[in-house]
């Protein structure tokens, strides 16, 4: 993609009312645009990052037999009433509206009820199970606090997955299988070492749920961790009883600030009992389905990556989600020989399947480099009159600042090796 054609421009300042570092940087770099507090549009560069995060999540959910679908944003009042969750005093994040034709609708803040209800059409016998379905949905939540940029939106993208099993053993096996699948996602995003499967508040059916908490100063959670023992406990459930159950003492735990990037819930047969979602077991008896739900905050993750890896010059993307692998920056654009040469390098990168953002703009070197640092592609490749004469390219690794001088042959060998 040519930067000269990209409609977004970098900005020196973020909106005065934007207090979160992630949103400030993403707005300044042109990845997102702020509509209002907690509501952000994703622009071409931001959408590329979002899609890459989704693709990683998609691959790992497919690997554990998840089937992708998409539910609706408008939801039925009667359905949520049937499980006792329509009331604002029970669920405090509802956006609701009225239909002109009469009646009320809710805007999807979660999809357990609609998915469970829909599954009644497809689950009749134990032979239909197990099933796991997931979606990437824009959730709408009337959050009280929206000061964390894209880490807490009133409109945000979540991957939510739901499992349906015939018995406790297959249900628990699936629940357990989601933990390594989730960890693979976080490893691929470069935050595996700082992300912990964390004991958190359970529900009607279980003592604990599990959250995936990533160390992040901008996070809203407090987690107590012990890396050696692989134990992490959300402050909310840090009680004597929890410590005894997990056979650990308070002294062995370190307090850290974290962001919840995902969570998994075991509903047992409770949710299906509430919904009336049953199947006939092999004796022909109606049995409530065993259900679990599994969330990942896609847009929150994008914010966490910015918060964790950015430096004083701007964003630093992990290679796995960067909008482009290479930022090709040409200087001395008043010299046709130089620009022709850079065009050739751009074409070669594209031929070789390397994703390139090509800064072909007629601007000063200082401005181009500052923009490049702000945008945060993993590698910057510089072409200039002087470099052309010496037959070399300057390659800068964004994360470390390491500078290498490579010949054309070395350059392409380097970027096509994987
Ligand atoms: P939190 O405790 O942060 O409010 P939650 O427990 O309500 O989140 P879920 O409803 O289970 O979370 O959502 C699943 C995942 O979606 C969370 O783990 C988080 O990563 C993400 N998420 C939740 N709320 C938001 C939000 N308002 N903005 C962005 N991401 C969110
Ligand atoms: Mg939570």
Instruction: In whole angstroms, give the CA distance from residue 35 to residue 28.
Output: 14
Per 3-state DSSP, what percentage of the chain is helix, strand, and coil (rounded to 5)? 35, 30, 35
For atom 29 of ligand 1, the residue with the nearest CA is 152
Residue 145: other Cβ atoms inside 10 A: 9
Q: Annotate 170-188 with b (16+ C-beta within 10 A) or e (fewer).
A: ebeebbeebeebbbbbbbb
pLDDT (tens digit per residue) in 28-38: 999 999 999 99
What are the tokens at 289? Answer: 């389905």
How far apart are the CA of 337 and the centre of ligand 1, in A?
Answer: 53
For atom 9 of ligand 1, the residue with the nearest CA is 295
Mean pLDDT confidence for 324-347: 98
For atom 8 of ligand 1, the residue with the nearest CA is 260
- pLDDT band at residue 416 using 50, 70 and 90 as cut-offs: confident
DSSP 128-165: G--EEEEEEEEEE---S---SGGGS-SEEEEEEEEEEE
How would you classify the pairing of strands 74-76 and 326-330?
unpaired
Residue 246 has pLDDT above 80, yes or no: yes
pTM of the model: 0.97
Instruction: In whole angstroms, give the CA distance from residue 278 to residue 23.
Output: 45
Average pLDDT, the chain: 97
- pLDDT band at residue 352 using 50, 70 and 90 as cut-offs: very high
How far apart are the CA of 3 and the centre of ligand 1, in A?
Answer: 34
How far apart are the CA of 222 and the centre of ligand 1, in A?
Answer: 15
pLDDT (tens digit per residue) in 58-102: 999 999 999 999 999 999 999 999 999 999 999 999 999 999 999
How far apart are the CA of 262 and the centre of ligand 2, in A?
Answer: 8
How far apart are the CA of 18 and the centre of ligand 2, in A?
Answer: 23
What residue ranges line ligand 1, CB within 6 angstroms?
110, 141, 143, 152-153, 156, 158, 260-263, 295, 297, 299-300
Angle (nearest 5°) at CA 154 between 93 and 307: 125
* Probe target for ligand 1 pocket from 201, 295, 299, with the most ligand atoms within 8 Å of CB: 295
Ligand 1: atom nearest CA of 211 is 18
Give me the half-sphere count of Cα atoms (radius 13 Å) on the Cβ side of residue 383. 25
Distance set, CA 367 to CA 63, 324, 363 (Å): 44, 19, 7
How far apart are the CA of 297 and the centre of ligand 1, in A?
Answer: 6
Ligand 1: atom nearest CA of 109 is 10
Predicted local distance difference test score (pLDDT) of residue 205:
81
* Probe target for ligand 1 pocket from 54, 297, 299, with the most ligand atoms within 8 Å of CB: 297
Ligand nearest to the CA of 156: 1
Mean pLDDT confidence for 306-316: 98
Distance set, CA 214 to CA 257, 258, 259, 391 (Å): 8, 5, 5, 44
């Amino acid at each position: 993609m040519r930067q000269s054609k990209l409609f977004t421009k970098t900005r020196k300042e973020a909106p005065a009312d934007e207090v979160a570092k992630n949103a400030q940087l993403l707005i300044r770099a042109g990845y997102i645009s702020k509509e209002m507090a907690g509501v952000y549009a994703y622009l071409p560069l931001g959408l590329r990052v979002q899609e890459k995060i989704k693709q990683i999540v998609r691959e790992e959910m497919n690997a554990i037999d998840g089937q992708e679908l998409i539910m609706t944003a408008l939801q039925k009042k009667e359905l949520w009433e049937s499980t006792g969750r329509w009331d604002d005093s029970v669920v405090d994040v509802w956006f609701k509206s009225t239909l002109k034709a009469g009646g009320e609708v809710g805007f999807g803040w979660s999809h357990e009820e609609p998915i469970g209800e829909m599954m009644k059409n497809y689950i009749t016998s134990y032979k239909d199970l197990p099933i796991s379905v997931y979606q990437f949905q824009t959730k709408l939540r009337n959050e009280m606090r929206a000061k964390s940029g894209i880490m807490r939106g009133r409109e945000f993208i979540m991957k939510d997955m739901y499992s349906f099993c015939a018995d406790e053993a297959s249900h628990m096996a699936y629940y357990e299988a989601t933990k390594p699948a989730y960890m693979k996602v976080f490893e691929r995003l470069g935050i595996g070492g700082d992300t912990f499967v964390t004991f958190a508040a359970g529900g009607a059916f279980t003592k604990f749920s599990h959250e995936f908490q990533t160390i992040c100063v901008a996070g809203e959670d407090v987690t107590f961790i012990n890396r050696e023992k692989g134990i992490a406990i959300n402050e909310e459930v840090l009680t004597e009883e929890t410590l005894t159950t997990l056979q650990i003492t308070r002294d062995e735990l370190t307090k850290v600030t974290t962001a919840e990037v995902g969570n998994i819930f075991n509903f047992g047969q409770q949710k299906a009992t509430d919904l009336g979602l049953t199947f006939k077991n092999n004796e022909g008896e109606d049995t409530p389905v065993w259900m679990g739900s599994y969330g990942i905050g896609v847009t929150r993750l994008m914010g966490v990556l910015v918060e964790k890896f950015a430096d004083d010059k701007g964003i630093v993307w992990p290679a796995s989600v960067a909008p482009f692998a290479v930022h090709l920056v040409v200087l001395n654009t008043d010299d046709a020989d130089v620009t022709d040469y850079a065009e050739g390098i751009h074409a070669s990168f594209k031929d070789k399947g390397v994703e390139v953002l090509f800064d072909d703009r007629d601007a000063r070197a200082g401005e181009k480099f500052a923009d490049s640092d702000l945008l945060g592609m993993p590698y910057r490749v510089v072409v200039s009159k002087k470099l052309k004469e010496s037959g070399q390219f300057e390659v800068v690794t964004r994360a470390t600042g390491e500078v290498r001088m490579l010949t054309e042959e070395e350059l392409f060998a380097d970027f096509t090796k994987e």
